[in-house]
Amino acid sequence: MTVSKFPSLEFHLPKGNRHLAYSSVGDANSPHVLLCLPGLLETRATFDPLLKAADGLQGLRVISVDLCGRGDSSPLPGDKGYTMQVYLEDIVQFIRHELMPDGKPVPHIEVLGTSMGGILAMYLAHEQSNHIRGLFFNDIGLELPWMSIYGLYDGMKKEGRLPTPEEMADKFNVSIGAVLAVQSPAHFDLPYRKDWKGMKFGHLLSDFKGPVRLMHGSDSGVCTDQQVKGLQREFPKAQVLEVAGAAHPVPFNAMVNQFVLQSLSLAVVAPVKVAAVREVPVSPTVQLAMPLDAPEPVAEPEPVPAQPSAAIPPQQPVAPRVGLLGLIKQLLGATKK
């Protein structure tokens, strides 16, 4: 079971009798905040190495959050109703109340998202009132190919079978309801665009002016070379770090941690050693990661009702709710044609 080694703090949500668990290093009044969002069936424990590396850096606060039904956060009532819309609304409330309390100056907020967390980061950045100034994507790009989703689904199998919900819940330290929800067509209820290749999120960042960075694995089936190049076309100045031998998602090892902290442009951060980092020989960029970020692939992101602030303008086409199996059926149907 994945458990964070950092103390669990509680943020009580304004609505409902539940809380989000989070860990934090650095002064609460730091002018620079890095908010870390885990993948589909990950917990905040995945960011422990990054928090350890950042602990003690002046002027920086690093926060990792458990989404509802994960880690030490409260499950939803009846352990049902987990959707992307709920995750997004919870994080927005966390930002507004914990990071931007009334009477205090708004800090410089950047978001680091792994896989599904990266997709949520795009929706957060789309709404200017969230004051997101910079983005980091861990093996997630501006598109999510249908083939990548199928690969994640197939990669979940052990000895020819899929793990039971109980086995997955115990292994990843999440509720059974959350495991079941990610396999439901109702899970990804945020609006998005699509074509025959897959789900598309780039339009959410069409007006984003902050820095974009991408860490991707050389062996990733989610953030492929095509995804990296696509992100670089949209963000020519994006920084890209390729981690040799890594699949999906990229682990927070010493090299990745230093890349992240150096990219924040803090004077107290030591420069990354050239020998330790392999950067793509093009303008740095962000990569795309799958909506399922457990040590091994588990489930993809699914459709969720879009929140007003993060919704796509009415004139933009919105894809119908589609779950993992539905996406696979669409993919197979498209290939037959």
Q: How many residues does the chain have?
A: 337
List pLDDT tens digits, range 17-68: 999 999 999 999 999 999 999 999 999 999 999 999 999 999 999 999 999 9
> Cα–Cα distance between 20 and 72 in angstroms, integer?
8
> Cα–Cα distance between 23 and 26 in angstroms, integer?
10
Residue 22: strand pairing partners: 9, 65
Q: Which of 26, 25, 71 is nearest to 44 (CA)?
A: 71
> Cα–Cα distance between 321 and 185 in angstroms, integer?
6
Q: Which of 198, 215, 187, 199 is nearest to 298 (CA)?
A: 187
pTM equals 0.80
Asked if residue 335 has pLDDT above 80, the reply is no
**Total H helices, total E strands in the chain:** 9, 11
Q: Which of 108, 107, 129, 55 is nearest to 264 (CA)?
A: 108
For 38, the token pair is: 């885990």
List pLDDT tens digits, range 166-195: 999 999 999 999 999 998 889 999 999 999
Q: Under CATH, domain 9-336 is a member of which superfamily?
A: Alpha/Beta hydrolase fold, catalytic domain (3.40.50.1820)
Query: Stretch 69-83: mean pLDDT, rounded?
Result: 97
Residue 148 CB partners (closer than 8 Å, separation 6+): 198, 221, 222, 224, 290
